[in-house]
Amino acid sequence: MISAGRLRHLAVRLAPSASRDALGQRVDAWTQAAQFRADLRSDSADERQYADGTAVVRSYEVRARWNTVRSIGLSETDRILVRGRTLRIRAIQNLDERDRVAVIDCEEVT
């Protein structure tokens, strides 16, 4: 069960662009699709080799109501914007398969 008092942050679903460029690749743009209430919890942070250099990768756990996550169509291809942080979704879990709490495993690369 998730307490309504813990859902104090407003999260925004960012859906990937459906348009393609001249090479047929997806355009790297995100559209705000839906909002939902969530709880943001910081897990860890570490420094890694990333793309062309070193980056700090922070892990977060976002909790929300399962019915809300399912109704807005949130998936692992989306991003979430919470408290000014754009988070990449790694996994979405239905906690204990009880259809009450969605645990969204995310990371932020800075």
Query: Is the residue at 61 inside a domain?
Result: yes
The string of DSSP codes covering 44-88 is EEEEEEETTEEEEEEEEEEEEEHHHHHHHT--TTSEEEETTEEEE
Residue 13 lies in a domain: no
Distance of CA 98 to the CA centre of its chain: 21
Lookup: tokens for 102: 């969605």
Give the DSSP letter of residue 27: P
State whether residue 97 is helix, strand or coil: helix
> Residue 58's domain spans which residues?
40-110
- Structural domain count, the chain: 1
Q: Is residue 8 part of a domain?
A: no
pLDDT in tens, 57-104: 999 999 999 999 999 999 999 999 999 999 999 999 999 999 999 999
Task: Please give the model's pTM, rounded to 2 decimal places.
Answer: 0.86
Domain-embedded: residue 56: yes
Residue 26 in any domain: the answer is no
Tens of pLDDT, residues 14-49: 999 878 888 888 788 899 999 999 999 998 999 988
Quick check: is 65 in a domain?
Answer: yes
- Would you say residue 75 lies in a domain? yes
